[in-house]
Amino acid sequence: MAGTIRAQYPATIRPIRINCTGRVTPSLMMRAIGKGADGVLVAG
């Protein structure tokens, strides 16, 4: 949807494809924040 309406997002956002948001574990999110990410957005 975002692609078809040509929505823009900042180049500093890095997407990681996950099969299902149910798969996201707190440890993955904390790892990203621990490595210096400003935030984690779980979208889907």
Partner 1 sequence: MLESARTPGMNIYTYSEVEDASGFVGNFKVKIRKKARYVNNDCNGCGACYEVCPAYGYDEFNEGMNPRKAIYASFTQAVPSIAQIDMTKCIKCGLCESACELNAIDFDQEEEIIEIEVGSIIVATGWDEYEPETGYLGYNVYPNVITQLKLERILAPNGPTFGHLVRPSDGKNPKNILFIQCVGSRDLTKQTYCSAGVCCMISIKNTKLIKQHLPDVDITVAYMDIRAAGKDYEEYFTASRKEGIKYVRTNISKIHEDPETHNLKVILQNTLSTAGLKEFEYDLIVLSCAMVPPKGIEKIERILKLETSQDGFFKEFHSRLNPIDTKIPGIALAGASQGPKSIAESIAQGRAAASSLARLMSKDKYRILLIRANVDKELCAKCGLCELNCPYDAIKIESDGAEVNDILCRGCGSCLANCPSEAITLRYYREPQYEKQIDAILEEI
Q: Which residues bind partner 1 (CB under 8 A)?
A: 14, 16, 18-20, 22-25, 27-28, 31-32, 35-37
Longest dimension (CA), the chain: 34
Phi first, then psi: give them for residue 27, nearest 5 degrees: -65, -35
Helices and strands: H and E segment counts in the chain: 1, 0
Nearer residue to partner 1 within complex by CB, 6 or 35: 35
The least distance separating partner 1 from the CB of residue 21, rounded to whole angstroms, comes to 9
The least distance separating partner 1 from the CB of residue 33, rounded to whole angstroms, comes to 10
